[in-house]
Structures are given as C-alpha cells and as structure tokens.
Amino acid sequence: MAARIDAYFDCVSPFSYFAFVHLLRNKDVLRSHGVEIDFHPVFLGGINAGSGNKPPFTLPAKAKYMKYDVPRSAKYFGVEGFKTPKFFPILTVVPQRCIIYIKEHYPTERFEQTWLSFWQYLFVKNVDTSKPEVLAEIFAEHKFSEQEIKDILAAASDPKYKQALTDNTQKALDRGAYGAPYYWVRNSKGEEEPFFGSDRFPIMWKFLDLPVSEPTIKSATSGDARL
C-alpha cells in the first residue's frame, strides 16, 4: 500500500510554516521512498473551536513559552528573517479559500510555492495577508494574470470554496486535530496514525519505516552519544 502524509495547515500558524518548509525540502526524497504528501488548507480558528482548544497567545504560560520557542524553531528550520507581526493573529478564511482554488486549478508546484509566499509575507515581510490587495500582490508575483487574480479572489466569496474550507477543517477534526500543523500518516503496511506539530518528524519517519540516522551529540572527550 502506498505511504502517504496528509498535512493540514493554516497560513496563520508559524509552526505550519516551519513544517511546510521542512516537508517541501524533503518532498523528493520522501517520494523516492514511495511517500506522497498532500497539503490541505484548513481554518485553524475552526479547529480550535471544534476541538475546544485555545490559541497559545490566549494562555499566559503558553504565550510566554512561545516567545522562546518560535524564534528558536525558525532558526532550526532555517527560516531567515522571521518575526511575528504586531497585528498577529489574522483571520485566514479569505487566503485559505483562495489557495484551495489555486490547488484545484493549477499544478501542484505552483500551488505550493504560492502558499509558501503567504507565510513569507506574514512572518518575514510582516504584511497582512488577510487583505485582498496583499493577496493580489502575491498572485502577481507568481505570474498570475489580471483575470486569474480576479477569479482567485472571487473564490473567497464563492459558496463552493467556502464549503471546501469547511470540509477540509471538519476532515481534520474528524481525524483528531486540535491545532496545526496536523498530519494523518499512512505507512506502507496500511497502518494509520496522527501526528501533531513541527517537531515530530523523526518519529514520523520511523513510523514510515524510512532509513534515517539518529542525531548524535559529540562527546567533549571521545565517541558520540545519541541525543
């Protein structure tokens, strides 16, 4: 049975950004081992509401921890120039509906690279990607024509794409999601398990039975030790 990663991401989530970057970097090598990835845009606000979870910034202890964890995660994943904008968070129903339209109508690579720009504009350029004019700028950057940009933006108010985002979000909830990034992973044996966060990839690779090397720490005297 074909191995597969279904990844549920929202472009407001910094940890979805880190995970997206990491999976894109490893997409070809994963495919060489028969592992396919499908990225699904979801509405994180809907997942929080549907699961009873609360955003980290609303809980003082989590908010304090995030001040440390987000910058060091950005450094670990090689996301240069990362900074959380002062207007964070944003409402992402418009950009997420638009990217579902792009996924449906354009090649996978174009969909992925355009979506990647949503995070880059928000967390590197600190521009509010919930605004249609900002999205139009991103789409122009990715060589969509004026008519294509109008069609993509119109999708944000189209009942079909409103429902598509709702359906994606509900699918994630049905699979146990309580935040993002969230994954439903099937290995070559047909076994399926959920994973959450941007720091579970080594465990995910083991579940997928991929040939990986354990990270090691160099001894100050001699030999190595596993982390």
Q: Just list the catalytic residues.
A: 13
Report residue 136: phi and psi, to 5°.
Answer: -60, -40
Is there a contact between 135 and 144 (Cβ–Cβ < 8 Å)?
Answer: no
Report residue 185: phi and psi, to 5°.
Answer: -120, 135
Question: How many other CB atoms sit within 10 Å of the CB of residue 19?
Answer: 26
**Contact residues for 178 (Cβ-Cβ < 8 A; gap 6+):** 47, 48, 51, 52, 53, 196
Report residue 209: phi and psi, to 5°.
Answer: 60, 45
**Contact residues for 61 (Cβ-Cβ < 8 A; gap 6+):** none
